[in-house]
Structure 1
Protein backbone atom coordinates (compact mmCIF):
# COMPACT_ATOMS: atom_id res chain seq x y z
CA UNK A 1 0.00 0.00 0.00
CA UNK A 2 1.54 3.28 -1.10
CA UNK A 3 1.72 6.12 1.40
CA UNK A 4 -0.17 9.23 0.32
CA UNK A 5 0.61 12.58 1.90
CA UNK A 6 -0.57 16.14 1.31
CA UNK A 7 1.85 17.96 -0.99
CA UNK A 8 4.66 19.88 0.68
CA UNK A 9 6.37 22.52 -1.42
CA UNK A 10 10.07 22.03 -2.12
CA UNK A 11 10.84 18.88 -0.12
CA UNK A 12 11.40 15.32 -1.38
CA UNK A 13 8.67 12.69 -1.06
CA UNK A 14 9.94 9.69 0.88
CA UNK A 15 7.01 7.31 0.52
CA UNK A 16 7.15 6.68 4.27
CA UNK A 17 7.39 8.66 7.49
CA UNK A 18 10.49 10.86 7.32
CA UNK A 19 13.15 11.28 9.97
CA UNK A 20 14.35 14.74 10.99
CA UNK A 21 17.66 14.67 12.84
CA UNK A 22 18.35 17.33 15.47
CA UNK A 23 21.49 19.47 15.66
CA UNK A 24 21.24 21.81 18.64
CA UNK A 25 23.89 24.51 18.40
CA UNK A 26 23.26 25.56 21.99
CA UNK A 27 24.93 25.33 25.41
CA UNK A 28 21.70 24.61 27.30
CA UNK A 29 19.42 22.24 25.38
CA UNK A 30 17.94 19.65 27.72
CA UNK A 31 19.76 16.57 26.41
CA UNK A 32 22.70 17.64 24.24
CA UNK A 33 23.48 21.22 25.21
CA UNK A 34 27.08 22.18 24.47
CA UNK A 35 27.95 19.12 22.38
CA UNK A 36 27.70 20.82 18.99
CA UNK A 37 28.50 24.47 19.72
CA UNK A 38 31.55 24.39 17.46
CA UNK A 39 30.28 24.87 13.87
CA UNK A 40 32.63 22.27 12.37
CA UNK A 41 31.57 19.67 14.94
CA UNK A 42 27.92 20.55 14.33
CA UNK A 43 28.27 20.09 10.58
CA UNK A 44 30.09 16.79 11.08
CA UNK A 45 27.32 15.64 13.42
CA UNK A 46 24.65 16.61 10.91
CA UNK A 47 26.39 14.60 8.20
CA UNK A 48 26.60 11.64 10.58
CA UNK A 49 22.84 11.87 11.17
CA UNK A 50 22.24 11.76 7.41
CA UNK A 51 24.53 8.72 7.14
CA UNK A 52 22.40 7.07 9.85
CA UNK A 53 19.21 7.62 7.88
CA UNK A 54 18.03 11.20 8.50
CA UNK A 55 16.04 12.65 5.61
CA UNK A 56 16.53 16.21 6.79
CA UNK A 57 18.43 17.95 9.60
CA UNK A 58 16.93 20.56 11.94
CA UNK A 59 19.46 23.18 13.13
CA UNK A 60 18.58 25.30 16.15
CA UNK A 61 20.52 27.97 18.01
CA UNK A 62 18.15 28.67 20.91
CA UNK A 63 16.99 26.22 23.56
CA UNK A 64 13.24 25.89 24.06
CA UNK A 65 13.41 23.57 27.08
CA UNK A 66 11.07 24.56 29.94
CA UNK A 67 12.49 27.57 31.78
CA UNK A 68 15.08 28.42 29.12
CA UNK A 69 16.02 32.08 28.70
CA UNK A 70 16.12 33.61 25.24
CA UNK A 71 19.38 34.47 23.51
CA UNK A 72 19.93 37.58 21.44
CA UNK A 73 19.22 37.57 17.73
CA UNK A 74 22.90 38.24 17.03
CA UNK A 75 23.98 35.21 19.07
CA UNK A 76 21.41 32.97 17.44
CA UNK A 77 22.59 34.02 13.99
CA UNK A 78 26.23 33.46 14.98
CA UNK A 79 25.42 29.92 16.08
CA UNK A 80 23.11 28.87 13.28
CA UNK A 81 24.26 30.34 9.97
CA UNK A 82 27.66 28.59 9.61
CA UNK A 83 26.04 25.23 10.34
CA UNK A 84 23.14 25.75 7.91
CA UNK A 85 25.57 26.92 5.24
CA UNK A 86 27.94 24.02 5.85
CA UNK A 87 25.26 21.32 5.75
CA UNK A 88 23.38 22.77 2.80
CA UNK A 89 26.67 23.01 0.93
CA UNK A 90 27.02 19.24 1.36
CA UNK A 91 23.60 18.63 -0.15
CA UNK A 92 21.75 18.08 3.13
CA UNK A 93 18.09 19.11 3.32
CA UNK A 94 18.22 21.59 6.21
CA UNK A 95 15.46 22.92 8.43
CA UNK A 96 16.12 25.90 10.69
CA UNK A 97 14.57 25.76 14.16
CA UNK A 98 13.88 29.39 15.09
CA UNK A 99 11.17 31.73 16.34
CA UNK A 100 12.84 34.81 14.81
CA UNK A 101 11.98 36.11 11.35
CA UNK A 102 15.45 37.53 10.74
CA UNK A 103 17.09 34.21 11.59
CA UNK A 104 14.65 32.33 9.36
CA UNK A 105 15.22 34.70 6.45
CA UNK A 106 19.01 34.61 6.67
CA UNK A 107 19.03 30.84 7.18
CA UNK A 108 16.96 30.34 4.02
CA UNK A 109 19.41 32.61 2.19
CA UNK A 110 22.19 30.35 3.54
CA UNK A 111 20.51 27.24 2.14
CA UNK A 112 17.81 26.14 4.61
CA UNK A 113 14.88 24.47 2.85
CA UNK A 114 12.39 24.67 5.73
CA UNK A 115 11.52 26.84 8.74
CA UNK A 116 10.54 25.04 11.95
CA UNK A 117 9.02 27.69 14.23
CA UNK A 118 7.91 26.23 17.56
CA UNK A 119 5.65 29.25 18.02
CA UNK A 120 3.96 28.73 14.65
CA UNK A 121 4.49 32.37 13.76
CA UNK A 122 3.19 33.80 17.04
CA UNK A 123 6.46 34.86 18.70
CA UNK A 124 7.65 37.24 15.97
CA UNK A 125 5.09 39.31 14.04
CA UNK A 126 7.35 39.29 10.97
CA UNK A 127 7.77 35.52 10.78
CA UNK A 128 4.68 34.79 8.70
CA UNK A 129 5.71 37.45 6.17
CA UNK A 130 9.13 35.78 5.83
CA UNK A 131 7.51 32.37 5.42
CA UNK A 132 5.22 33.74 2.71
CA UNK A 133 8.03 35.52 0.87
CA UNK A 134 10.53 32.64 0.96
CA UNK A 135 7.92 30.04 0.05
CA UNK A 136 9.67 27.28 1.99
CA UNK A 137 7.80 24.73 4.13
CA UNK A 138 6.78 26.24 7.47
CA UNK A 139 5.96 24.37 10.68
CA UNK A 140 2.95 25.62 12.63
CA UNK A 141 3.38 24.08 16.07
CA UNK A 142 0.96 24.37 18.97
CA UNK A 143 2.34 27.07 21.26
CA UNK A 144 0.93 29.09 24.13
CA UNK A 145 3.94 31.06 25.32
CA UNK A 146 7.70 31.26 25.84
CA UNK A 147 9.68 28.54 27.61
CA UNK A 148 9.97 30.51 30.85
CA UNK A 149 6.20 30.42 31.39
CA UNK A 150 4.81 27.59 29.28
CA UNK A 151 4.35 25.04 32.06
CA UNK A 152 1.82 27.37 33.74
CA UNK A 153 -0.20 27.46 30.52
CA UNK A 154 -0.98 23.73 30.45
CA UNK A 155 -4.68 24.14 31.25
CA UNK A 156 -7.17 22.17 29.14
CA UNK A 157 -10.66 20.71 29.38
CA UNK A 158 -10.11 18.44 26.36
CA UNK A 159 -6.47 18.64 25.30
CA UNK A 160 -6.83 16.93 21.91
CA UNK A 161 -9.80 18.98 20.77
CA UNK A 162 -8.35 22.26 22.04
CA UNK A 163 -4.83 21.77 20.66
CA UNK A 164 -6.06 20.75 17.21
CA UNK A 165 -8.46 23.70 17.15
CA UNK A 166 -5.77 26.18 18.20
CA UNK A 167 -3.40 24.93 15.52
CA UNK A 168 -6.21 25.06 12.96
CA UNK A 169 -6.85 28.71 13.81
CA UNK A 170 -3.17 29.55 13.44
CA UNK A 171 -3.02 27.61 10.18
CA UNK A 172 -5.90 29.70 8.87
CA UNK A 173 -4.20 32.88 10.10
CA UNK A 174 -0.88 32.20 8.37
CA UNK A 175 -2.65 31.25 5.14
CA UNK A 176 -4.72 34.45 5.31
CA UNK A 177 -1.43 36.37 5.71
CA UNK A 178 0.00 34.94 2.49
CA UNK A 179 1.53 31.54 3.31
CA UNK A 180 0.40 28.96 0.76
CA UNK A 181 -1.40 25.95 2.29
CA UNK A 182 1.03 23.56 0.61
CA UNK A 183 3.89 25.11 2.62
CA UNK A 184 2.43 24.24 6.01
CA UNK A 185 3.37 21.39 8.35
CA UNK A 186 1.49 21.03 11.65
CA UNK A 187 2.94 19.87 14.99
CA UNK A 188 1.07 19.09 18.26
CA UNK A 189 3.87 20.65 20.33
CA UNK A 190 4.49 17.76 22.72
CA UNK A 191 5.97 19.07 25.95
CA UNK A 192 5.13 22.71 25.18
CA UNK A 193 2.47 23.89 27.64
CA UNK A 194 1.50 20.23 28.14
CA UNK A 195 1.48 17.95 31.16
CA UNK A 196 2.83 14.40 30.84
CA UNK A 197 -0.77 13.17 30.66
CA UNK A 198 -1.53 15.70 27.91
CA UNK A 199 1.37 14.39 25.83
CA UNK A 200 0.10 10.81 26.04
CA UNK A 201 -3.43 11.85 25.11
CA UNK A 202 -2.14 13.73 22.08
CA UNK A 203 -0.03 10.78 20.96
CA UNK A 204 -2.99 8.44 21.38
CA UNK A 205 -5.08 10.61 19.01
CA UNK A 206 -2.73 11.50 16.16
CA UNK A 207 -5.59 10.54 13.86
CA UNK A 208 -7.36 13.74 14.98
CA UNK A 209 -4.90 15.77 12.88
CA UNK A 210 -5.86 14.23 9.57
CA UNK A 211 -8.84 16.55 9.18
CA UNK A 212 -6.47 19.54 8.81
CA UNK A 213 -5.16 18.00 5.60
CA UNK A 214 -1.54 18.93 6.25
CA UNK A 215 1.61 16.87 6.95
CA UNK A 216 2.12 16.11 10.64
CA UNK A 217 5.47 16.44 12.42
CA UNK A 218 5.81 14.54 15.71
CA UNK A 219 8.62 15.63 18.03
CA UNK A 220 8.72 13.35 21.06
CA UNK A 221 12.42 12.55 21.24
CA UNK A 222 13.84 12.28 24.77
CA UNK A 223 11.06 14.46 26.21
CA UNK A 224 10.02 14.57 29.86
CA UNK A 225 6.94 12.40 29.50
CA UNK A 226 9.20 9.54 28.40
CA UNK A 227 11.58 10.18 31.27
CA UNK A 228 8.64 10.01 33.67
CA UNK A 229 7.33 6.79 32.14
CA UNK A 230 10.77 5.18 32.49
CA UNK A 231 11.54 6.55 35.96
CA UNK A 232 13.37 4.36 38.45
CA UNK A 233 10.65 2.38 40.26
CA UNK A 234 12.48 2.64 43.60
CA UNK A 235 13.70 6.24 43.66
CA UNK A 236 11.30 7.87 41.21
CA UNK A 237 14.29 9.46 39.47
CA UNK A 238 13.52 10.25 35.84
CA UNK A 239 15.36 8.26 33.18
CA UNK A 240 18.14 10.56 31.85
CA UNK A 241 17.42 12.10 28.42
CA UNK A 242 20.12 10.16 26.58
CA UNK A 243 18.67 6.89 27.89
CA UNK A 244 15.24 7.55 26.37
CA UNK A 245 16.17 6.76 22.75
CA UNK A 246 14.61 3.29 22.62
CA UNK A 247 11.32 4.76 23.85
CA UNK A 248 11.69 7.60 21.35
CA UNK A 249 12.07 5.06 18.52
CA UNK A 250 8.95 3.26 19.75
CA UNK A 251 7.05 6.52 19.47
CA UNK A 252 8.50 6.99 15.97
CA UNK A 253 7.10 3.63 14.87
CA UNK A 254 3.70 4.42 16.36
CA UNK A 255 3.67 7.91 14.81
CA UNK A 256 4.55 6.45 11.42
CA UNK A 257 1.73 3.92 11.72
CA UNK A 258 -0.65 6.76 12.59
CA UNK A 259 0.27 8.62 9.39
CA UNK A 260 2.84 11.17 10.59
CA UNK A 261 4.79 12.90 7.83
CA UNK A 262 8.01 12.97 9.88
CA UNK A 263 9.43 12.44 13.35
CA UNK A 264 12.05 14.72 14.88
CA UNK A 265 14.73 12.85 16.85
CA UNK A 266 18.13 13.22 18.48
CA UNK A 267 19.34 9.65 17.84
CA UNK A 268 18.54 8.90 14.22
CA UNK A 269 19.36 5.27 13.52
CA UNK A 270 16.76 3.61 15.81
CA UNK A 271 13.97 5.81 14.47
CA UNK A 272 15.17 5.47 10.87
CA UNK A 273 14.98 1.70 11.31
CA UNK A 274 11.57 1.95 13.00
CA UNK A 275 9.91 3.97 10.22
CA UNK A 276 11.32 1.65 7.58
CA UNK A 277 9.94 -1.37 9.40
CA UNK A 278 6.52 0.33 9.56
CA UNK A 279 6.70 1.11 5.83
CA UNK A 280 7.62 -2.49 4.94
CA UNK A 281 4.77 -3.82 7.06
CA UNK A 282 2.30 -1.45 5.45
CA UNK A 283 3.52 -2.40 1.95
CA UNK A 284 3.01 -6.08 2.73
CA UNK A 285 -0.65 -5.69 3.63
Structure 2
Protein backbone atom coordinates (compact mmCIF):
# COMPACT_ATOMS: atom_id res chain seq x y z
CA UNK A 1 0.00 0.00 0.00
CA UNK A 2 1.20 3.47 -0.88
CA UNK A 3 1.24 5.35 2.42
CA UNK A 4 0.39 9.02 2.43
CA UNK A 5 3.59 11.06 2.50
CA UNK A 6 2.09 14.04 4.23
CA UNK A 7 -0.66 14.77 6.69
CA UNK A 8 -1.29 18.11 4.97
CA UNK A 9 -4.51 17.91 2.98
CA UNK A 10 -6.50 20.40 0.95
CA UNK A 11 -10.20 19.53 1.16
CA UNK A 12 -12.85 21.80 -0.25
CA UNK A 13 -10.30 24.56 -0.63
CA UNK A 14 -9.33 24.38 3.04
CA UNK A 15 -5.87 23.37 4.17
CA UNK A 16 -5.59 20.93 7.07
CA UNK A 17 -2.32 19.94 8.69
CA UNK A 18 -3.37 16.71 10.34
CA UNK A 19 0.02 16.37 11.97
CA UNK A 20 -1.09 19.10 14.39
CA UNK A 21 -4.75 19.80 13.73
CA UNK A 22 -8.07 18.13 14.56
CA UNK A 23 -11.12 18.65 12.36
CA UNK A 24 -14.61 18.44 13.83
CA UNK A 25 -17.23 16.97 11.48
CA UNK A 26 -20.85 17.77 12.39
CA UNK A 27 -23.54 15.17 11.74
CA UNK A 28 -26.71 16.24 9.93
CA UNK A 29 -29.11 13.38 9.17
CA UNK A 30 -31.93 13.89 6.68
CA UNK A 31 -33.57 10.69 7.84
CA UNK A 32 -36.84 10.23 9.71
CA UNK A 33 -35.39 7.44 11.86
CA UNK A 34 -31.83 8.44 12.83
CA UNK A 35 -30.76 6.78 16.05
CA UNK A 36 -29.79 9.97 17.89
CA UNK A 37 -31.95 12.89 16.77
CA UNK A 38 -34.91 10.68 15.76
CA UNK A 39 -35.82 12.73 12.73
CA UNK A 40 -35.27 16.22 14.15
CA UNK A 41 -33.30 17.25 11.04
CA UNK A 42 -35.32 15.32 8.46
CA UNK A 43 -36.96 18.45 7.11
CA UNK A 44 -34.85 20.45 4.67
CA UNK A 45 -35.10 23.74 6.57
CA UNK A 46 -34.19 22.02 9.85
CA UNK A 47 -31.25 20.23 8.25
CA UNK A 48 -29.84 23.39 6.70
CA UNK A 49 -30.36 25.40 9.90
CA UNK A 50 -28.61 22.71 11.97
CA UNK A 51 -25.71 22.60 9.53
CA UNK A 52 -25.27 26.37 9.60
CA UNK A 53 -25.46 26.41 13.39
CA UNK A 54 -22.75 23.74 13.49
CA UNK A 55 -20.50 25.88 11.31
CA UNK A 56 -21.15 28.87 13.58
CA UNK A 57 -20.20 26.68 16.55
CA UNK A 58 -16.84 25.88 14.96
CA UNK A 59 -17.39 22.72 12.91
CA UNK A 60 -14.83 22.34 10.13
CA UNK A 61 -16.97 19.91 8.16
CA UNK A 62 -20.64 18.99 7.88
CA UNK A 63 -21.58 15.38 7.08
CA UNK A 64 -25.01 15.05 5.46
CA UNK A 65 -26.66 11.64 5.41
CA UNK A 66 -29.87 10.51 3.76
CA UNK A 67 -29.85 6.87 4.91
CA UNK A 68 -28.88 5.57 8.32
CA UNK A 69 -26.35 2.75 8.71
CA UNK A 70 -28.64 0.44 10.70
CA UNK A 71 -30.48 -2.37 8.89
CA UNK A 72 -33.72 -1.43 7.21
CA UNK A 73 -35.58 -1.28 3.93
CA UNK A 74 -33.74 0.07 0.91
CA UNK A 75 -34.27 3.68 -0.06
CA UNK A 76 -34.49 4.46 -3.77
CA UNK A 77 -31.38 6.21 -5.05
CA UNK A 78 -33.42 9.13 -6.40
CA UNK A 79 -35.02 9.58 -2.98
CA UNK A 80 -31.62 9.63 -1.29
CA UNK A 81 -30.42 12.21 -3.79
CA UNK A 82 -33.51 14.31 -3.06
CA UNK A 83 -32.61 14.23 0.63
CA UNK A 84 -28.93 15.16 0.50
CA UNK A 85 -28.36 17.27 -2.61
CA UNK A 86 -30.58 20.22 -1.55
CA UNK A 87 -28.61 20.47 1.71
CA UNK A 88 -25.32 20.40 -0.19
CA UNK A 89 -26.53 23.16 -2.49
CA UNK A 90 -27.71 25.26 0.46
CA UNK A 91 -24.29 24.97 2.14
CA UNK A 92 -22.20 25.94 -0.88
CA UNK A 93 -20.23 29.04 0.02
CA UNK A 94 -20.74 28.50 3.76
CA UNK A 95 -16.98 28.23 4.39
CA UNK A 96 -17.20 24.64 5.48
CA UNK A 97 -16.17 21.31 4.02
CA UNK A 98 -19.28 19.45 2.85
CA UNK A 99 -19.35 15.69 3.26
CA UNK A 100 -22.05 13.25 2.18
CA UNK A 101 -22.53 9.94 3.96
CA UNK A 102 -23.48 7.44 1.25
CA UNK A 103 -22.55 4.06 -0.19
CA UNK A 104 -24.36 4.67 -3.49
CA UNK A 105 -22.18 5.74 -6.46
CA UNK A 106 -25.04 7.65 -8.09
CA UNK A 107 -25.69 9.60 -4.91
CA UNK A 108 -21.98 10.37 -4.57
CA UNK A 109 -21.84 11.59 -8.17
CA UNK A 110 -24.87 13.86 -7.71
CA UNK A 111 -23.55 15.18 -4.39
CA UNK A 112 -20.12 16.00 -5.84
CA UNK A 113 -21.73 17.80 -8.78
CA UNK A 114 -23.78 19.81 -6.29
CA UNK A 115 -20.66 20.84 -4.36
CA UNK A 116 -19.75 18.06 -1.91
CA UNK A 117 -16.06 17.76 -1.08
CA UNK A 118 -16.04 14.44 0.79
CA UNK A 119 -17.81 11.10 0.35
CA UNK A 120 -18.09 9.22 3.63
CA UNK A 121 -18.57 5.50 2.93
CA UNK A 122 -19.46 3.43 5.99
CA UNK A 123 -19.56 0.17 4.02
CA UNK A 124 -15.80 -0.32 3.49
CA UNK A 125 -16.09 0.30 -0.25
CA UNK A 126 -18.72 -2.40 -0.70
CA UNK A 127 -19.33 -1.03 -4.20
CA UNK A 128 -16.01 -0.31 -5.98
CA UNK A 129 -17.83 2.08 -8.33
CA UNK A 130 -17.93 4.53 -5.43
CA UNK A 131 -14.14 4.80 -5.63
CA UNK A 132 -14.37 5.29 -9.39
CA UNK A 133 -16.78 8.20 -8.89
CA UNK A 134 -14.42 9.82 -6.37
CA UNK A 135 -11.42 9.19 -8.63
CA UNK A 136 -13.13 11.15 -11.41
CA UNK A 137 -13.49 14.19 -9.16
CA UNK A 138 -11.51 16.29 -6.71
CA UNK A 139 -13.35 14.80 -3.74
CA UNK A 140 -11.87 12.97 -0.75
CA UNK A 141 -13.18 9.58 0.35
CA UNK A 142 -13.56 8.26 3.89
CA UNK A 143 -13.27 4.47 3.98
CA UNK A 144 -14.89 3.16 7.16
CA UNK A 145 -14.62 -0.44 8.29
CA UNK A 146 -17.75 -2.58 8.37
CA UNK A 147 -18.51 -6.16 7.37
CA UNK A 148 -22.15 -6.64 6.38
CA UNK A 149 -23.77 -5.71 3.11
CA UNK A 150 -25.34 -2.24 3.34
CA UNK A 151 -28.43 -2.03 5.54
CA UNK A 152 -28.39 -5.75 6.34
CA UNK A 153 -28.17 -7.19 9.87
CA UNK A 154 -25.09 -8.95 11.21
CA UNK A 155 -26.22 -10.45 14.52
CA UNK A 156 -23.56 -11.22 17.11
CA UNK A 157 -20.58 -10.08 15.01
CA UNK A 158 -17.42 -12.03 15.70
CA UNK A 159 -13.78 -11.83 14.70
CA UNK A 160 -11.56 -14.88 14.41
CA UNK A 161 -8.73 -13.81 16.71
CA UNK A 162 -8.00 -10.11 16.87
CA UNK A 163 -10.59 -7.47 15.98
CA UNK A 164 -7.99 -4.71 15.57
CA UNK A 165 -5.80 -6.75 13.25
CA UNK A 166 -8.82 -7.73 11.13
CA UNK A 167 -10.04 -4.14 10.95
CA UNK A 168 -6.61 -2.89 9.91
CA UNK A 169 -6.20 -5.66 7.34
CA UNK A 170 -9.55 -4.91 5.69
CA UNK A 171 -8.91 -1.18 5.67
CA UNK A 172 -5.51 -1.79 4.08
CA UNK A 173 -7.09 -3.90 1.32
CA UNK A 174 -9.82 -1.34 0.66
CA UNK A 175 -7.33 1.53 0.56
CA UNK A 176 -5.20 -0.42 -1.92
CA UNK A 177 -8.32 -1.04 -3.99
CA UNK A 178 -9.26 2.64 -3.98
CA UNK A 179 -5.76 3.59 -5.13
CA UNK A 180 -5.86 0.97 -7.89
CA UNK A 181 -9.16 2.46 -9.05
CA UNK A 182 -7.58 5.88 -9.35
CA UNK A 183 -8.11 7.65 -6.02
CA UNK A 184 -4.88 9.44 -5.05
CA UNK A 185 -3.59 8.50 -1.61
CA UNK A 186 -3.75 12.15 -0.56
CA UNK A 187 -7.54 12.00 -0.96
CA UNK A 188 -8.11 9.02 1.35
CA UNK A 189 -9.15 9.06 5.02
CA UNK A 190 -9.76 5.92 7.09
CA UNK A 191 -12.22 5.18 9.88
CA UNK A 192 -12.11 2.03 12.07
CA UNK A 193 -15.91 2.01 12.25
CA UNK A 194 -16.71 1.99 15.96
CA UNK A 195 -19.90 -0.01 16.60
CA UNK A 196 -20.33 -0.79 12.88
CA UNK A 197 -20.84 -4.57 12.96
CA UNK A 198 -18.97 -4.59 16.27
CA UNK A 199 -20.01 -5.02 19.88
CA UNK A 200 -18.93 -2.85 22.80
CA UNK A 201 -15.89 -4.99 23.63
CA UNK A 202 -14.74 -4.72 20.02
CA UNK A 203 -15.17 -0.94 19.97
CA UNK A 204 -13.31 -0.49 23.25
CA UNK A 205 -10.43 -2.62 21.95
CA UNK A 206 -10.31 -0.55 18.75
CA UNK A 207 -10.19 2.63 20.81
CA UNK A 208 -7.47 1.32 23.09
CA UNK A 209 -5.32 0.20 20.15
CA UNK A 210 -6.19 2.98 17.72
CA UNK A 211 -2.49 3.54 17.13
CA UNK A 212 -2.48 0.42 14.96
CA UNK A 213 -5.01 2.05 12.64
CA UNK A 214 -2.99 5.28 12.62
CA UNK A 215 0.02 3.28 11.42
CA UNK A 216 -1.71 2.79 8.06
CA UNK A 217 -0.41 6.28 7.33
CA UNK A 218 -3.66 8.07 6.51
CA UNK A 219 -5.61 10.67 8.49
CA UNK A 220 -7.99 8.77 10.75
CA UNK A 221 -11.57 9.75 11.45
CA UNK A 222 -13.41 8.43 14.51
CA UNK A 223 -17.20 8.40 14.65
CA UNK A 224 -17.87 7.84 18.34
CA UNK A 225 -20.62 10.31 19.10
CA UNK A 226 -23.30 8.98 21.46
CA UNK A 227 -22.78 5.43 20.26
CA UNK A 228 -23.93 2.34 22.07
CA UNK A 229 -20.45 1.29 23.20
CA UNK A 230 -20.32 4.53 25.18
CA UNK A 231 -23.80 4.02 26.57
CA UNK A 232 -23.09 0.44 27.56
CA UNK A 233 -19.71 1.34 29.08
CA UNK A 234 -21.33 4.00 31.27
CA UNK A 235 -24.86 2.69 31.70
CA UNK A 236 -26.26 5.79 29.99
CA UNK A 237 -29.15 6.27 27.58
CA UNK A 238 -28.67 7.91 24.21
CA UNK A 239 -29.42 11.38 25.59
CA UNK A 240 -26.85 11.06 28.38
CA UNK A 241 -23.66 10.25 26.50
CA UNK A 242 -22.15 13.64 25.71
CA UNK A 243 -19.45 13.49 28.39
CA UNK A 244 -18.52 9.93 27.47
CA UNK A 245 -18.40 10.84 23.79
CA UNK A 246 -16.05 13.75 24.45
CA UNK A 247 -13.81 11.63 26.67
CA UNK A 248 -13.57 8.99 23.95
CA UNK A 249 -12.85 11.62 21.29
CA UNK A 250 -10.08 13.20 23.37
CA UNK A 251 -8.57 9.78 24.04
CA UNK A 252 -8.60 8.97 20.32
CA UNK A 253 -6.93 12.27 19.46
CA UNK A 254 -4.13 11.50 21.91
CA UNK A 255 -3.72 8.20 20.03
CA UNK A 256 -3.51 9.98 16.67
CA UNK A 257 -7.06 10.48 15.35
CA UNK A 258 -7.38 13.77 13.50
CA UNK A 259 -11.06 13.96 12.56
CA UNK A 260 -14.00 13.46 14.91
CA UNK A 261 -17.59 13.05 13.68
CA UNK A 262 -20.05 14.36 16.26
CA UNK A 263 -23.57 15.45 17.14
CA UNK A 264 -22.64 17.84 19.97
CA UNK A 265 -20.58 20.35 18.07
CA UNK A 266 -19.92 23.23 20.46
CA UNK A 267 -18.83 20.98 23.32
CA UNK A 268 -16.58 18.91 21.07
CA UNK A 269 -15.03 21.95 19.39
CA UNK A 270 -14.07 23.31 22.81
CA UNK A 271 -12.60 19.95 23.83
CA UNK A 272 -10.56 19.69 20.63
CA UNK A 273 -9.34 23.28 20.92
CA UNK A 274 -8.26 22.61 24.50
CA UNK A 275 -6.28 19.56 23.39
CA UNK A 276 -4.70 21.69 20.65
CA UNK A 277 -3.77 24.37 23.16
CA UNK A 278 -2.16 21.82 25.49
CA UNK A 279 -0.23 20.28 22.60
CA UNK A 280 0.96 23.71 21.49
CA UNK A 281 -0.87 23.49 18.16
CA UNK A 282 -3.11 26.47 18.98
CA UNK A 283 -2.47 29.66 20.90
CA UNK A 284 -4.80 30.68 23.76
CA UNK A 285 -7.49 33.14 22.71
CA UNK A 286 -6.23 35.66 25.29
CA UNK A 287 -3.73 35.86 28.15
CA UNK A 288 -4.68 37.67 31.37
CA UNK A 289 -4.14 35.30 34.29
CA UNK A 290 -1.10 36.34 36.41
CA UNK A 291 0.12 38.74 33.77
State the shift of 1:53 in Å: 1.5
Where does structure 1 differ by over 4 angstroms across 4 or more consecutive aligned residues? none
Q: 1:148-159 to 2 correspondence within 5 Å?
A: 148-159=152-163
Using the TM superposition, name which of 180-189 and 91-100 deviates more. Answer: 91-100
**Does residue 275 of structure 2 align to residue 282 of structure 1?**
no
Q: 5+ residue gaps in structure 1?
A: 232-238
CA distance in 2, matches of 1:221, 1:128: 26
Q: 1:52-201 to 2 correspondence within 5 Å?
A: 52-65=57-70, 67-122=71-126, 124-145=127-148, 146-201=150-205
**Does residue 33 of structure 2 align to residue 32 of structure 1?**
no
CA distance in 2, matches of 1:277, 1:80: 33
State the shift of 1:278 in Å: 0.9
Q: Give the 3-state SS of the residue equivalent to 2:136 in structure 1.
A: helix
Residue deviations 1:157-192, cap 9 Å, x none? 101111101100111111111111111000001111
TM-score, reference length from structure 2: 0.89
Distance 1:155 1:93, change over 3 A: same
* 1:205 alignment partner, one of 193, 199, 209: 209
* 1:227 alignment partner, one of 231, 234, 248: 231
Contact 1:88/1:111, CA 8 A, preserved across alignment: yes
Q: 5+ residue gaps in structure 2?
A: 282-291
**Corresponding residue of 1:271:** 268
CA distance in 1, matches of 2:140, 2:255: 22
**Corresponding residue of 1:214:** 218
Q: Give the 3-state SS of the residue equivalent to 2:261 in structure 1.
A: strand
Distance 1:92 1:165, change over 3 A: same
RMSD across aligned C-alpha pairs, in angstroms? Answer: 1.7
CA distance in 1, matches of 2:74, 2:251: 33
Length, aligned pairs only: 272
Contact 1:61/1:97, CA 8 A, preserved across alignment: yes
Using the TM superposition, name which of 149-158 and 87-96 deviates more. Answer: 149-158
* 1:258 alignment partner, one of 255, 259, 280: 255
Residue deviations 1:193-226, cap 9 Å, x none? 1110000000001111232110000001011111
State the shift of 1:136 in Å: 1.0
CA distance in 2, matches of 1:69, 1:20: 27
Structure 1 or 2: more helix by fraction? 1
